[in-house]
Amino acid sequence: MRIYPHRLALWAFAASASFGLEFGVMGNVSAGMGGAGVALKNSPFALYYNPALLSAENSVRFGYSLGLGVREKNLDKIANINLENFAASAEKFASLIGSAGGTGGVNTGAFESVLDSALDKTLGGGGAGQSLEQKLEAFQQQNPDPSQWGQLIQNIKQEANSSQALSQEQKELLDSLAGSVDFGNLQVDSNGNITNIDINFGGNLGLDQAIKDFANLKSALEENALNFTSQNGVALQFAPAFLRGTLGTFGVGLFSSFYGATSAKIDPNRTALIIASGKDYYKIDAKDGNFSYTQTTEDDYKQHSLEYALQQGNAHSVLTRGFWITEIPIGYAHTFYFSNVNWNLGVSARLMSASNTISNIALSTKTDFATEGKNFLAGKNFETKTAVAVDVGTMLEIDLPNFRYLTFGVVAKNINTPTFQYSTGEVAIKPQYRAGIAYNQSNFVFAFDVDLWKNEMLSDSFNRPFSQMIGGGVKFDIKAFDLRAGLMKDLRQDDGLIITGGVNILGFLDIAVQAGTELGEAQGYRFPRYLNVRVGGNISF
């Protein structure tokens, strides 16, 4: 059997990692109201948002909810780059730039000759007998302002056009780039080799795009995620009035949630923009308005270059993970009555069965994502483990003349950090803390929630993405149906403002939608970076 050491290393790195989950969305009422549910009375999913809500009503309530969501972070940047042609594009770029400096390319001396002759003309013959380094220093001292570089630019174009050593493509490249070079920062060593050059964007669109592709790929590899979620559940809450202040109230449910995550796992030490040109190597630094390249070594290229790593396919990978949790939550809450406040305390335990699968795809210039995706969908064995999660919550109902409908809630979920040990790594669902406020009138409700701390998202990327939501909304109850609308924002992500809404007809049919205003783009298609659609309903008696 053939063993691939680089793949074993990637798997070992994945197996040492730990993961978490964000707070998520369950139930249609909260989904349509900006995700707010911690202080929301008459919620069919108190078991999910805050177990203290179980005793905040006087009824028996049944609810169901089915949902599908997608969230994307930076992977659209990778999708817009043709990885099959990545190496070819890099080599083409290297050869073109290499002909503008260095010592290894066939036409390197030709460009130096062009620059040398152009400086002679510009200096009026004053540089006769001097080295290229000396001529450049003289030019820089005499012409410190960019407005004084026009004559040198014209002379470079003329010399390049008349050169017999440059190809037509190289002549056109030099003609387009001459006006974009920062001659004030141009550096030449004592041997006449160009060691550093800064080039402003805008001189050559093809070259600009090549540099931006490199920079975008590096940025996307460092922090990225594509998450598919399907959170579904049914819940029964038994809270008749006579139990609130005596035995307490109860709830039981069944939650089934699937989390699919695709992310790029990288070696952060091998993402530098270093390219090869013959025997020479150049490190590229992209900035806001320009890019520069400096000479470096072959050793630096092999140890740190993103281009070389993608050619070898031994440093970066794409990990696709499927995580499926089935939960049976059992909750209890009790109301303590005071003169102007009702204090609700709740606790729930969730019996969890979690199945996990992971697929590793080496990221290289030869990666065929279509084939790899089909192989993953063809079937993966899930590994299943069990655990128990504990949630605690509290909710205050204010009973004052002017604040009779006001409630405050706080919940701590997964306080025991339920952990699943798999052969491919550890999945730890870490504690989540959220607070909320609500105004609960019979025909009008307002609610607002905030995550008190950031929550990890399911991702294997080097820089782990986090989520921290704030959001709120309103509900108008109009006899046979109700309408909901809200806004939410993830403070840790670039989803934009997330607009939410929902409608319920006769209780048992409910539709809710959440959509981010920030759009991603891949292969010409635009899409919201955050989208969640839910169908459900609830009845009470």
Torsion, Cα 7 13 18 19, to 10 degrees, reads: -40
Q: Residue 326's pLDDT band (boundaries 50, 70, 90)?
A: very high
Amino acid identity at 249: T
With a cut of 60, say whether residue 85 has pLDDT above it. no
With a cut of 50, say whether residue 304 has pLDDT above it. yes
With a cut of 70, say whether residue 126 has pLDDT above it. no
Among candidate residues 220, 268, 263, the one with its CA nearest the CA of residue 359: 263
Residue 355 has a pLDDT of 94
Residue 168 has a pLDDT of 84
With a cut of 80, say whether residue 100 has pLDDT above it. no
Can you list the positions of beta strands (E) in 363-497? 383-398, 406-413, 419-422, 425-428, 432-440, 444-451, 455-456, 466-467, 469-478, 481-490
With a cut of 70, say whether residue 313 has pLDDT above it. yes
DSSP 181-205: B-TTS-EE-TTS-EEEEEEETTS-H
The residues that bridge with 476 in the sheet, in sequence order, are 444, 483
Q: Residue 20's pLDDT band (boundaries 50, 70, 90)?
A: low
Of 103 and 204, more confident: 204
Of 386 and 105, more confident: 386
Q: Residue 14's pLDDT band (boundaries 50, 70, 90)?
A: very low
pLDDT in tens, 206-263: 677 777 777 777 777 777 778 899 999 999 998 777 777 678 899 999 999 999 888 8
With a cut of 60, say whether residue 384 has pLDDT above it. yes
Among candidate residues 348, 346, 322, the one with its CA nearest the CA of residue 334: 346
Mean pLDDT value of segment 439-454: 95
Hey, which of 5-14, 20-29, 79-88, 226-235 has the most confident mean pLDDT? 226-235
Neighbours of 489 (CB within 10 A): 18
Lowest-confidence pick of 125-129, 200-204, 244-248, 259-263: 125-129
With a cut of 60, say whether residue 90 has pLDDT above it. no
With a cut of 80, say whether residue 470 has pLDDT above it. yes
With a cut of 60, say whether residue 97 has pLDDT above it. no
Residue 89 has a pLDDT of 54
With a cut of 60, say whether residue 11 has pLDDT above it. no
Instruction: Say if CB 512 and CB 505 are below 8 A apart.
Output: no
User: Which helix (H) or strand (E) segment is 532 a member of?
Assistant: strand 530-540
List of domains in the chain: 28-74+224-267+315-540 (2.40.160.60), 81-216 (no CATH)
Kindly report the average pLDDT of the chain as a whole number.
Answer: 83
Residue 29 has a pLDDT of 95
Residue 349 has a pLDDT of 98
With a cut of 80, say whether residue 288 has pLDDT above it. no
Q: What does the alpha-carbon distance between residue 90 and residue 218 come to, in Å, rounded to a whole number?
A: 14
Residue 127 has a pLDDT of 63
Residue 372 has a pLDDT of 67
Q: What contacts 96, CB < 8 A, 6 or more positions away?
A: 169, 170, 173, 207
Share of the chain above pLDDT 70, in %: 85
With a cut of 50, say whether residue 40 has pLDDT above it. yes
Hey, which of 1-5, 382-386, 516-520 has the most confident mean pLDDT? 382-386
Neighbours of 157 (CB within 10 A): 19
Residue 200 has a pLDDT of 82
Tokens 């403070």 sit on residue: 491
Lowest-confidence pick of 105-109, 165-169, 421-425, 497-501: 105-109
Residue 373 has a pLDDT of 66
pLDDT in tens, 156-165: 899 888 888 7
Q: Residue 9's pLDDT band (boundaries 50, 70, 90)?
A: very low
Hey, which of 122-126, 200-204, 494-498, 531-535 has the most confident mean pLDDT? 531-535
Distance of CA 453 to the CA centre of its chain: 18
Q: Residue 295's pLDDT band (boundaries 50, 70, 90)?
A: confident
Residue 417 has a pLDDT of 94
Amino acid identity at 523: Q
Instruction: Say if CB 177 and CB 211 are below 8 A apart.
Output: no
Residue 13 has a pLDDT of 38
Q: What does the alpha-carbon distance between residue 106 and residue 121 come to, in Å, rounded to a whole number?
A: 25
Q: Residue 376's pLDDT band (boundaries 50, 70, 90)?
A: low
Instruction: Say if CB 349 and CB 402 are below 8 A apart.
Output: no
With a cut of 90, say whether residue 533 has pLDDT above it. yes
pLDDT in tens, 144-187: 998 999 999 999 899 888 888 777 877 887 888 888 888 888 88
Residue 324 has a pLDDT of 94
Mean pLDDT value of segment 282-297: 80
Q: Residue 1's pLDDT band (boundaries 50, 70, 90)?
A: very low
Instruction: Say if CB 502 and CB 491 are below 8 A apart.
Output: no
Q: Residue 521's pLDDT band (boundaries 50, 70, 90)?
A: confident
